[in-house]
Amino acid sequence: MPTFQYEAMNSVGQVVKNDIEANSQEEAIAKIRAMGHFPTKIKERAARKGARPAAGAARDASGPTTRRRSVGRVPMKTLTQFTRQLSTLQDAGLPILRSLRILEQQQKPGPMRVGIRTVADDVESGASLSEAMARHPKAFNKLYTNMVAAGEAGGVLDTVLRRLADFMESAQRLKRKVVGAMVYPIAVITFAMLIVLGIMLVIIPKFEKIYQSFGATLPTITVMLIDISKWIQKGGWAVVLISPVALILLIKLLKQSEGGRYLVDSIKLKLPLVGGILAKTAVARFSRTLGTLLAAGVPILEAISITRETAGNEVFSRALVKVHDGIREGEDFAAPLRQAKIVEPMVVNMIDVGEETGELDKMLSRVADTYDEEVETMVAAMVSLLEPVMVIVLGVIVGFIVVAIFMPLPTLISAVQKSN
C-alpha cells in the first residue's frame, strides 16, 4: 500500500507532519480528516519510477491524477452575483472556505453550485482559491483567475473581487442595452417578412387565377409580382427563411480559425452604423479589462496578454500583440497603440497621460466610461434612425404589392363591360 507524507493543522492550529498509508490520495485525506486534522499538503512518499518529481511542491487532493472533471459554462449573471456576494463575505472578514460553503448552499442546483463545491473542496485540500478556480476555465476564465491570484498575493482579495464584480456588471449592463435596442427592429423585420411570405403564398396565387380567367394582358409590375410569388411557392420561401440561419452558421464556421475570425471582425468594423458601435464597444471592453487588471496589481505584460485573449475581436487582439511586443522591447504603451491605428487619437493621448502620471489604470477606466456612454448614445441614435427606415422600406414593399395587384383591374373591368 502506498505511503503518503502529509502536513496538516490540528484542532488547536498546530502544524502536524506525519506519514499515512492509503490506496489513494483521496483515501489518505479522508483518514487525516477522521483524525481531526485539516490537511494542507500531501504527496506520495515513494514515487513510481519515471514519475515526475514532486520534491518542493506538494500535490493537493485534486492533483493531476485525481482531478475532477471541469465544470461547464456558467451564466454571466450568476457568476456576477457570486462574485459580488463573495466580495461582501470577504469584506466582512469570513474565512474563504466558510464563505464558499455559505454561497454553495445559497445556489440553485446547477453548474454554479457544482463549481463552488469543487472549488471549496480543493481549497479545503490546500489549494489556493485562484488555483482551484483555474481548474474550471469554462466557469472562471483567465481574466477572473488572474485577478483573484493578484488579490491573494496582495492580501486585498475583497477589493479585487469588488472591482471584478463592478467590471462584470458594467459589461452586462452595456450588453443588455445593445441587445435590448436591437430587439424591436429585429422583431418588426421578422414579422414583416412572415406577412409578406404569407401574401406571396396565399393571396397572390388567387389573384393570378382571376387574371388568367380573363385572359387580359397584364402590366409589367404585375407580372413581376406573380413571378416572385411563383418562385417563393417553388421553394423560395425556404431560401428566405434559411438564409439568415445559413449566414450565422457560416460566420461561426469562419470563426473556428484565426484567419476567419480576423476576416469576420474586419468586415463587422467596416459596416455602416453598426461598425462604429462595435469598434467603440471593443475599445471600452479592452480599456476596462486592462484597467481592472492593472488596478489589481497584475504586471502590465501579463495584463495585456489576458486582455488580448478576452478582447472579443481579432482585429484588436492582433493589435494588442504588437503593443505587448513593443512594451517588452522597451517602448511605452502609447507608441505601439498609436501605430496599430485601432483607436482614436484621443484614447492614445489619454493613455499617454496616464503613463506619465502613473495612473494608467484610472485613465483606462475613464476611457471605458467615456466609450460606454458613446455606445449608448450611438445605439439610441441608430434605433431612432431604424424606425423611419423600416417604415419606408415596409411602405415600399406594401405599395409595390398593392399597385401590382390593382393595376390590371381597370383593364379587366373594361373587358367585362365590353363582353356584356
Residue 150 domain-assigned (yes or no)? no
The pLDDT of residue 270: 86
Residue 270 domain-assigned (yes or no)? yes
Residue 147 domain-assigned (yes or no)? no
Q: What tens digit of pLDDT does each residue of 130-145 get? A: 888 888 888 888 778 8
Q: Tell me the three cell numbers of residue 31.
A: 483518514
What's the N-to-C CA distance of the chain in angstroms?
110
The pLDDT of residue 182: 75
CA distances from 161 to 78, 137, 366 (A): 15, 17, 20
Statement to judge: residues 223 and 363 lie in one domain: yes
Q: Tell me the three cell numbers of residue 415.
A: 373587358
The pLDDT of 293-311, averaged and rounded, is: 80
H or E, element range at 214: helix 204-214
DSSP 353-386: HHHHHT-HHHHHHHHHHHHHHHHHHHHHHHHHHH
The Cα–Cα gap between 71 and 343 comes to: 37
Which segment of 61-65, 171-175, 279-283, 357-361 scores lowest on mean pLDDT? 61-65
Exposure letters 61-75 (e unless 16+ CB within 10 A, then b): bbbeeeeeeebeebe
Which residue range(s) make up the domain with 129? 76-140
The pLDDT of residue 58: 38
CB 96 within 8 A of CB 82: no
Q: Is the pLDDT of residue 64 over 70?
A: no
CA distances from 47 to 2, 104, 140, 407 (A): 9, 36, 32, 91
The pLDDT of residue 61: 38
Residue 151 domain-assigned (yes or no)? no
User: Whose CA is closest to 116, among 125, 127, 131, 105?
Assistant: 105
H or E, element range at 40: strand 38-44
Q: Which amino acid is at 331?
A: E
The pLDDT of residue 10: 65
Statement to judge: residues 199 and 262 lie in one domain: yes
Helix and strand counts by DSSP (H, E) for the chain? 18, 3
Statement to judge: residues 269 and 189 lie in one domain: yes
Q: What are phi and psi of 44, to 5 degrees?
A: -75, 130
Residue with cell 464597444: 281
The pLDDT of residue 40: 67
Statement to judge: residues 172 and 189 lie in one domain: yes
The pLDDT of 282-300, averaged and rounded, is: 81
Statement to judge: residues 162 and 256 lie in one domain: yes
Statement to judge: residues 191 and 53 lie in one domain: no
User: Whose CA is closest to 88, among 198, 164, 173?
Assistant: 164
CB 255 within 8 A of CB 312: no
β-bridge partners, 5: 19, 43
The pLDDT of 354-364, averaged and rounded, is: 85
The Cα–Cα gap between 66 and 263 comes to: 42
Residue with cell 427606415: 389
Residue 418 domain-assigned (yes or no)? yes
The pLDDT of residue 419: 67
Statement to judge: residues 337 and 196 lie in one domain: yes
Assign 357 a pLDDT band (cuts: 50, 70, 90).
Answer: confident
**Over pLDDT 90: what percentage of the chain?**
0
Looking at 67, 98, 119, the residue that finishes a domain is 67
Assign 68 a pLDDT band (cuts: 50, 70, 90).
Answer: low
The Cα–Cα gap between 359 and 294 comes to: 10
Rg (CA), the chain: 31
Statement to judge: residues 135 and 254 lie in one domain: no
Looking at 42, 67, 92, the residue that finishes a domain is 67
Count of structural domains, the chain: 3
Q: What tens digit of pLDDT does each residue of 111-131 get? A: 888 888 888 888 888 888 888
The Cα–Cα gap between 148 and 176 comes to: 26
Q: What are phi and psi of 419, to 5 degrees?
A: -70, -25
The pLDDT of residue 49: 41
Statement to judge: residues 281 and 390 lie in one domain: yes
3-9 and 15-21 as β-strands: parallel, antiparallel, unpaired? antiparallel
In the chain, the largest separation of any two C-alpha atoms, in whole Å, equals: 115
CB 359 within 8 A of CB 351: no
Residue 21 domain-assigned (yes or no)? yes
Mean pLDDT of the chain: 80
The Cα–Cα gap between 193 and 105 comes to: 48
38-44 and 15-21 as β-strands: parallel, antiparallel, unpaired? unpaired
The pLDDT of residue 45: 65
CB 75 within 8 A of CB 83: no
Q: Tell me the three cell numbers of residue 77.
A: 449573471
Statement to judge: residues 134 and 178 lie in one domain: no
Q: Tell me the three cell numbers of residue 244.
A: 439568415
The pLDDT of residue 111: 84
The pLDDT of 211-239, averaged and rounded, is: 84
Q: Is 48 left (phi over 0), alpha (psi -120 to 50) or beta?
A: beta
Assign 65 a pLDDT band (cuts: 50, 70, 90).
Answer: very low
Which segment of 64-68, 208-212, 292-296, 328-332 scores lowest on mean pLDDT? 64-68
The Cα–Cα gap between 77 and 128 comes to: 24
Statement to judge: residues 278 and 328 lie in one domain: yes
Statement to judge: residues 58 and 110 lie in one domain: no
pTM of the model: 0.61
Looking at 17, 42, 67, the residue that finishes a domain is 67
Residue with cell 463575505: 89
Assign 307 a pLDDT band (cuts: 50, 70, 90).
Answer: confident
H or E, element range at 18: strand 15-21
Q: Tell me the three cell numbers of residue 6.
A: 502529509
Q: Where are the alpha helices (DSSP H) in 274-313?
A: 274-295, 300-309
Assign 9 a pLDDT band (cuts: 50, 70, 90).
Answer: low
